[in-house]
Structure 1
Amino acid sequence: MNLLKSFTKYLIVFIFAVHTANAQNPIIKNQFTADPTARVFGDKVYLFPSHDILASPGKGREGWFVMEDYHVFSSDNLIKWKDHGVIVTQNKVPWVKPNSYSMWAPDAIERNGKYYFYFPSTPKDTTGGKGFNIGVAVADKPEGPYISQEKPIKNVRGIDPNVFIDKDGQAYLYWSGGNIYAAKLKENMLELDSEPVILQNLPTKGLKEGPYLFERKGIYYLTYPHVENKIERLEYAVGDNPLGPFKFTGVIMDESPTGCWTNHHSFLEFKNQWYLFYHHNDYSPSFDKLRSTRIDSLFFNSDGTIQKVIPTLRGVGLTKATDSIHIDRYSDISKLKTEVLFLDTTKKFEGWKTVFNGQNTWIKYNSVDFGTSKPKSILINYRASKGGIIEIKDDRNNIISTIILKEGSSWNVIEKPLKTATIGIQNLIITSKNNAKVELDWISFR
């Protein structure tokens, strides 16, 4: 019987340790994913980010951006993401300089049943001067396989390609390289159909890059990262034509409060809600060349201006009550004595833990979906060397459960009955009720 209990406890720990799909921002949790472009194809969202890796001997420049390939991910709910694997890699692109590790921010779009993936890199042929070219790979499905064109797009030098197809069917390519450039694309999506132009009336001080253009209710939004002060913030300008003129209008997202130097983004409307995809160095707080994709909801004012997005850890979407709820991706937190720390600083992709360091310290996690069946118990993965008491309430002050935690130096999963069963969508508040230090990894309901 003791052996069976031990095995059951181990099995519970294992199942929930590997089931981390519902921890929110960042959304990809097993690799770095920067510069996210998100597109709706069919009934799914496809994410095309760049792929940061650490430099190593013979692989890239130490202390700089190092990228050798691209993955594509898909989701039908913006929460659980499937990795379809590598779609383009540097040494299999005919025109790319081998081992250049410069596969920077990409984009993708569909036209006439074909999927076009645009990416910059360092070319083998430097007769046109220093810098990057932009190439295209084509596929019959959004997840690939993609076949790279033999040569990059002629008459384009720069980085950060973005493609937009207007309502009249005309396609446009945007890119950056000191300024932000734009040109029409031919129907084949592989060649320019006009001379590049520099988009005017944008800020002239500081670096501008990463253009992303979209249209909403007849307004064309040109959005881009810009270094107004010391690091990038996301800004936008509006116009009534894809080639401008544009008028600077405002800031979408302020500079990173933790000092991540870059930001790069895309906009998406999915199931009647707009979202901002962007990146931050969550898994690498001391080195901002390793970045991860985040999502937050986006809203417009009645005049079409964009409401500023405040970055969150909670991100978007509902979390099922029966999934592992990683409360460290919080909606709100008490200002004193509550911390979010890595579970293991040597294995940061394992995620974070919440640390309560005093009585009445708390954390809040919004939008937990209990469905229509009332759960009977709660599981909690914790560590408390001196024991502790955890209280879980909804935001109407109903106590769902009060859990007494036994002393122990190791992580422990326990299951306790609920005081109040609940249904529907709830916001949870988790509070430490004594002065002992308590660490929580996740909670889940049964």
Structure 2
Amino acid sequence: MRPTKLTALVAAVCMQYSLYAQNPIIQTHYTPDPAPIVHNGTVYVYTGDDVPGYEFYNMTKWRVFSSTDMVNWRDYGSPISLESFEWARDRGWAAQCMERDGKFYWYICAQTTANDMAIGVAVSDSPTGPFKDALGKPLIITGAWSTIDPTVHIDDDGQAYMYWGNGSLYYVKLNKDMVSYSGDIVEIPQSVKSFGGIRQAKNANENNQQTVQPKDTYIEGPWLFKRSKQYYQMFAGMSKGAESLSYSVSDSPTGPWKYQGKIMTDQPTNSFTNHGGIIDFKGKSYLFYHTGLLPGGGSYGRATAIEEFKYNADGTIPSITITKEGVQPVATLNPYTRTEAETIAWAEKCTTSEDKKVGVYVSDIRTGGHIKVRSVDFGSISPNTFQASLAAGLDGGILDVHIDSLKGPKLSSINVPRTGGWDSWKTLSENIDVKVTGVHDLFFVFKSHNIISGRKLFNFDHWVFKP
């Protein structure tokens, strides 16, 4: 009986975590260095794409996701990669996208073919792409390895600023075209007053190794934004051998900066680095950051998480603790309009892929996995049909639809047949016999015809309920 009890206990724990967890917000990929923006009532977050299992950062592409409710995130795949830039060869690191006059400028950093680190920019007419290299060459190249982690802010007068730097902090004034700059590259002086401390050599005979003064110091990952009349410079600082999130403020976008303290420090993130972004959305303030808490993750397999916070009355930012619960929904999802299957609050035993035919879809679906979608509003009239677009190259499987929990009332069950290929899509429908109204969480549960099967079952593109 012992194995049976143990299996039941593990299943119960997993179910509870699935029911209540929201962080990390993306479970289908490793998504470091989140950079959020708000555009036309939607939050877009631009991330990296860690490939864990190596002894250093292995990232060759960037990803974008969107949400209108802060809990269900639609995956738009990877609109740009190192291959998008002919001058890039390796080490794609943190990036940020900014909108201006209807165009979207995605600032990335990568190692060049000359082995320098440089900042480039891709441009698109849409926040989700397609993007293309705007210049065919780097925007910023200094010959220094500190040329990483760009952040961009457009001030009220229309002047745009780009900051970046590892160890040292620099900025330039971007021109209105957002792909060129005027004036010199300016290095920001660092001091205890401005950033809590300075990095200094331990000993001239120790290859200029770096140490940190006890309070804090600027390391990397700047994030520049303005609130009311005050400018904020959040950055990755240092605390007890791992990065904190810290910040300074100024009355000007170019400083001088005054250190304010640590926002997130000494947290069990399972990652040496942290990289943050802050936005306001629908009257609430949010901190985006990353952890190494996904299964198989760590310092080289990081994933985006979010916490809600409130500014203090004087405009300072409080200390923020990481949570597995994350944030609450600020809107509901309409099940009577087509929803892409890659719109996910929580997912297990599946990932996402993309192709030219259907774009992004849920793939590598396995027995015992599921997708959770939060805050689905069925309204006052119960649906009578559920439809899903599915594809299977082998014997398919079963797609069960539950509300409220993995074992909550079952609305529908689709027996997915072999459709003729993994990219041969069929829209399958089943009637709904259970009455459902109001707001519920929705669970798509994956099953195999063969209880011991470990193979891939089917692909899942989109779904809709019919009232």
Q: Scaled by the length of structure 1, what TM-score is found?
A: 0.65
The answer on whether the counterparts of 1:22 and 1:80 sit within 8 Å (CA) in structure 2 is no
Q: Structure 1: any 5+ residue segments left out of the alignment?
A: 1-16, 56-61, 324-328, 331-341, 354-366, 383-391, 393-416, 426-446
Aligned to 1:185: 174
Q: Which residue of the other structure, out of 100, 119, 143, is the alignment partner of 1:111?
A: 100
Q: Secondary structure at the match of 2:112?
A: coil
Q: Counterpart of 2:127 in 1: which secondary structure?
A: coil
TM superposition shift of 1:380: 5.3
Q: Deviations over 1:342-372 (max 9, x none)?
A: 999xxx999x99xxxxxxxxxxxxx989998
Cα distance in 2 for residues equivalent to 1:153 and 1:113: 21
Q: Letter of the aligned partner of 1:241 in structure 2?
A: S
Shift of 1:284: 4.0
More contact order relative to length (CA 8 Å, sep ≥ 6): 2
One-letter amino acid of the structure 2 residue matched with residue 308 of structure 1: S
Question: Residues 227, 349 of structure 1: CA spacing in aligned structure 2 closer, same or farther, 3 A cutoff?
Answer: farther
Q: How does 1:388-403 map onto structure 2 within 5 Å?
A: none
Matched residue SS, 1:194: strand
AA partner of residue 127 (structure 2): P
Does 2:198 align with 1:204?
Answer: yes
Whether the 8 Å contact between 2:22 and 2:324 is mirrored in structure 1 is yes
Q: What is the rounded CA distance, in whole Å, between the counterparts of 2:284 and 2:305 in structure 1?
A: 16
Q: Tell me how far apart the structure 1 counterparts of residues 150 and 164 of structure 2 sit (CA, whole Å).
A: 5
Give 1:210 shift.
0.2
**CA offset at residue 188 of structure 1?**
1.1
Instruction: Give how far 1:299 is off.
Output: 1.1
Cα distance in 2 for residues equivalent to 1:151 and 1:162 = 19
Q: Does 1:46 align with 2:44?
A: yes
Report the counterpart of residue 232 of structure 1 in structure 2: 243
Closer, same or farther in 2 for the Cα pair 1:372/1:245, shift >3 Å?
A: same
Number of the residue aligned with 1:140: 125
Shift of 1:43: 1.6
Q: Which amino acid aligns with 2:163?
A: Y
Distance between the aligned counterparts of 2:166 and 2:306, measured in 1?
A: 26
User: Contact conserved, 1:106 with 1:161, CA < 8 A, in 2?
Assistant: yes
Sort the Cα spacing of 1:190 and 1:369 in 2 relative to 1 into closer, same or farther, 3 A.
closer
Q: 2:80 aligns with which of 85, 88, 99?
A: 88
Q: Report the alpha carbon displacement of residue 193 of structure 1 after superposing the two structures with TM.
A: 1.5
Q: State the secondary structure of the residue aligned to 2:235.
A: strand
Matched, 1:120 2:129: no
Alpha-carbon shift at residue 154 of structure 1 (Å): 3.9
Q: Structure 1 CA distance, aligned partners of 2:286 and 2:314?
A: 18
Asked whether the equivalents of residues 20 and 325 of structure 2 are also in contact (C-alpha less than 8 Å), the reply is no
Conserved? CA contact 1:75–1:82, under 8 Å: yes
1:295 corresponds to which residue? 306
The amino acid across from 1:109 in the alignment is M
For residues 72-116 of structure 1, give each alpha carbon's deviation from its aligned partner in whole angstroms, at most 9, with x where no partner exists: 11111111111112211112312112xx2x111000101111110
Equivalent residue letter for 2:50: D
2:24 — aligned with what? 26
Distance 1:236 1:47 in 2: 21
Q: 1:29 to 1:259 in 2, by over 3 A?
A: closer
Contact between 1:183 and 1:197, CA under 8 Å: does it hold in 2?
Answer: yes
* Residues 370 and 349 of structure 1, relative CA distance in 2, 3 Å threshold: same
Task: Within 5 Å, give how 1:163-312 maps onto structure 2.
Answer: 163-200=152-189, 201-202=194-195, 203-205=197-199, 206=212, 208-284=219-295, 287-312=298-323
Cα drift, residue 119 of structure 1: 0.1
The 3 A distance-change label for structure 1 pair 260 and 147 is same
Residue 159 (str. 1) matches residue 148 (str. 2):
yes
Q: Measured at CA, do residues 111 and 181 of structure 1 come closer, stay the same or move farther in structure 2, by a change above 3 Å?
A: same
Q: Is the 8 A contact 2:269 2:292 kept in 1?
A: no
Q: Is the 8 A contact 1:154 1:192 kept in 2?
A: no
Count, aligned residues: 328
Amino acid at match of 1:84: Y
Is the CA contact (8 Å cut-off) linking 2:245 and 2:262 kept in structure 1? yes
Paired with 1:37 and 1:378, the residues of 2 have a C-alpha distance of 32
* Contact persistence 2:291–2:298 (CA under 8 A): no
Alpha carbons 2:19, 2:405 under 8 Å: kept: no
In structure 2, what is the Cα distance between the partners aligned to 1:167 and 1:49? 26
**CA separation of 1:123/1:254 partners in 2, compared to 1, >3 Å: closer, same or farther?**
same
Provide the residue aligned with 2:64 in structure 1.
72
Query: d(CA) in 2 for partners of 1:76 and 1:209?
Result: 30
Change (3 A) 1:88 1:379: closer
| Structure 1 runs (4+) greater than 6 angstroms displaced | 319-323, 367-373, 422-425
Are the equivalent residues in 2 in contact too, given 1:21–1:79 (CA < 8 A)? no
Shift of 1:125: 2.8
- CA gap 1:242/1:349 in 2 versus in 1, 3 angstroms: farther
- 1:340-355 correspondence to structure 2 within 5 Å: none
| SS of aligned partner of 2:83 | helix
- Displacement of 1:159: 0.4
Deviations 1:222-274 (CA, angstroms, capped at 9, x unpaired): 10011233000000001100000010011111133254201001011111111
Measured in 1, the distance between the counterparts of 2:264 and 2:365 equals 26
2:34 counterpart residue number: 36
* Paired residue type of 1:83: D
Structure 1 segment 325-344 matched on structure 2, within 5 A = none
Check 1:424–1:107 CA distance in 2 against 1; reply closer, same or farther (3 A cut).
closer
Q: Which runs of 5+ in 2 are unaligned?
A: 1-14, 200-211, 213-217, 336-344, 351-363, 383-401, 409-433, 441-467
Does the 8 Å CA contact 1:22/1:79 hold for their aligned counterparts?
no
Q: Percent identity?
A: 33
- Distance in 1 (CA, whole Å) between partners of 2:334 and 2:105 is 39
Deviation track 1:387-420 (CA, whole Å, cap 9, x = no partner) reads xxxxx9xxxxxxxxxxxxxxxxxxxxxxxx9xxx
The alpha-carbon deviation at position 381 of structure 1 amounts to 4.4
More deviation in 30-39 or 86-95? 86-95
With over 3 angstroms needed to count, the CA separation of the structure-2 counterparts of 1:194 and 1:379, relative to structure 1, is closer
Separation (CA, whole Å) in 1 of partners of 2:267 and 2:125 = 38
- Root mean square deviation, CA, Å: 3.8
Distance 1:285 1:29, change over 3 A: closer
